[in-house]
Chains A and B, each alone.
Chain A
Amino acid sequence: MSAVLILADFVGGKATKSTVELATAAAGIGEVTALVLAPAGQGAAFAATITQGAISKVIVIESDDFTQHGVAASADALAHVSDQLKPAAVLIASHAFGKEVAGRVAIKLSCGIITDAVDVAPDCTATQLVFGGSTTVHSKVTQGTAIITVRPNTITADFVAANPSIENSTAPISDVAKKSTVTSTQPPVKGGRPELTEANIVVSGGRGTNGDFAAVEAFADSLGAAVGASRAATDAGWYPHSHQVGQTGKTVSPQLYVACGISGAIQHRAGMQTSKNIVVINKDPEAPLFELADFGVVGDLFAVLPPATEGVKAHKA
């Protein structure tokens, strides 16, 4: 059986749902080894948070170089382990850090790379949704180990209990990787809401909010949803850029996407049209986003959302 290597994904020292999703995709290809890169002294604690996912072995490498030299040091370690294990594929979470690590590893090992896969078949064929989700593409790496980054929240995770063997290891970190130095790190400012790209439900506001996101946020909170915004709303300074959904912002594909006061320019559709269910609320019956709606309400979001918020709360009570 062939081997597959995944780069375990962590936030705040805890393995994320992405780690389980990577393991799920990898298990279809072969026997899964997860690589844990942790700051010195924290390897065991990081590895202990891998409690779910079809992972047979965990390799732990500890070094403060990962904190100090970021992407490049992590790429050195991943390439080193991959070179020893010779896996059929290396799967990495498709966020800024993961994609950059993947890019460097592809150069180091002279391997082909595919990013933003939404599925990976047992023969390592990757499925991607491109051009804002309007086109399905199947691609394959033709040289060396397939380096594939997998978009969070697109693979249905198999939350089987993980009981992997744990092996401590080391990897040389090159002088090139040490050329850039991180002097300080602040974790993202977290509200009580889920991360936009990982959320099961996203409620977004656009021009129609006129800058007042209170109704959008209240509805999001009743659903336990993340809050998104259109480019018009973030450009106007109504909501932080980090919440922008669209071509130049985040791409989301939740179970439910609720667009409030967003007309649906291609810019926005590109970031959300792979959502499983789409609800659109807009005063303008001609808003193009209604074309994508599973359920649409032509009406004022400030009139529709408050009773909907109460309705959801009552339903959950």
Chain B
Amino acid sequence: MKIAVCVKQVPDSWAEKKMVGGLLDRANVDAVLNDLDEYAVEEALRIAEAHGGNEEGGANTVTLISMGPERATEALRKALSMGANDAILISDPVLVGADALLTANVLANVIQKGGFDIVICGTESTDARMSVVPAMMSEKLGWAQLTFASKVEVDPETKKTSITRVTEAGVDEIFAQFPCVISVVEKINEPRYPSFKGIMAAKKKVIDIQDFASTGAELTQSWSVVIDAAPRPPRAAGVVITDDGNGGVKLVDFLGEKKLI
């Protein structure tokens, strides 16, 4: 199987994020592989390992696909050190500030050309938190959508994939034939830590950096814009008391004063 995993480099989720000129300031924060994409990389590796491996001469390949500044190669090295085979990074100044629509178009074009059987994504990036790119890529590619999976089963013989979809609307069992776009929720697995051997091997793996033109995407601009962005005013300082045995009663008094009960 040819498996693609879409990953994104994001500001460290513990870092304070700021907007500069209508865009997230990515230059002045620590950048990491999106937490939720680690589950996608892990799931791809598990699927590959269960069906003939992705080592040299194995039956499968796991290719990372990302869009971002050249610095995103750091995040890709991390995912490569977990065990992915190679990576494609679409990096171009014209894509700075790309919205979800443009991103999905570019990624879908790269995936289309790569001849993949399945694409696996995290459910969202921890910076934009939209959760729409997997569904958009499925629509753009005309491939089956199997998203919010807490369990994935793949049969390379019959080319059938089954997932358990978990959302606030309930639990669905869904199946489709290859090719399909999968997104996985974080409870699906426990991502592996890269081994020393994996880290060394990753240094030699190929990251193919391409510009926007080479993707062949027709859409060239974002169709949503940020008009303005401002930090919210800090909350007014509240009252903090120390429990002297009456803390619970004082709490109820507060709720009563605020008409919350």
Spell out A's residues near B (CB within 8 Å). Answer: 11, 70-72, 75, 95-97, 99-104, 106-108, 110-116, 125, 129-131, 133-144, 176, 179-188, 195, 197, 201, 223, 241-242, 247-248, 255-256, 265-267, 270, 277-281, 285, 290-300, 303-312, 315-316
Contact = CB atoms under 8 A, between A and B. Distances in A.
A308 B136 contact: no
A173 to B, nearest CB: 13
B100 A108 contact: no
A182 B147 CA distance: 12
A95 B143 contact: no
Closest A-B pairs by Cβ, 8 of them: A299-B243, A307-B248, A112-B223, A103-B132, A311-B252, A296-B240, A308-B248, A143-B223
Interface in B88-136: 99-101, 104, 126-127, 129-136
Interface string B228-257: 111110010011111101011111101110
B258 interface: yes
B133 to A, nearest CB: 7
Given A223-B261, A248-B35, A183 B175 contact: yes
Given A140-B225, A176-B143, A247-B126, 14 more contacts: A95-B169, A103-B130, A136-B231, A176-B139, A179-B145, A180-B144, A186-B171, A278-B235, A279-B255, A285-B242, A290-B240, A295-B239, A297-B241, A311-B251
B131 A100 contact: yes
B227 A142 contact: no
B204 interface: no
Given A96-B131, A267-B13, A299-B243, A72 B226 contact: no
Given A95-B169, A99-B130, A100-B132, A179 B177 contact: yes
28 contacts: A70-B174, A72-B138, A95-B168, A96-B167, A96-B168, A100-B147, A103-B133, A104-B135, A104-B139, A110-B223, A112-B101, A112-B224, A140-B224, A143-B223, A180-B145, A180-B175, A181-B175, A185-B172, A185-B173, A188-B168, A290-B240, A292-B235, A300-B243, A303-B245, A303-B248, A307-B249, A311-B251, A312-B255
Given A298-B243, A308-B251, A71 B170 contact: no
Contact of A102 (B132, B142, B175, B250): B132
Contact of A312 (B180, B230, B252): B252
Contacts of B175: 180-181, 183
Contact of A311 (B36, B147, B249): B249
A248 B104 contact: no
A279 B254 contact: yes
A184 B140 CA distance: 26
A305 B145 contact: no
Nearest to A129: B232
A256 B172 contact: no
Contacts of B6: none
B169 A97 contact: yes
A179 B143 contact: yes
B135 A197 contact: no
A197 B17 contact: no
A60 B230 CA distance: 41
Nearest to B129: A116
A136 B100 contact: no
B139 A107 contact: yes
Nearest to A222: B261
A134 B226 contact: no
B182 to A, nearest CB: 10
A195 B168 CA distance: 9
A184 B14 CA distance: 38
A96 to B, nearest CB: 4
A293 B240 contact: yes
A135 B17 contact: yes
Contacts of A136: 229-232
Nearest to B99: A112
Contacts of A72: 138-139, 145
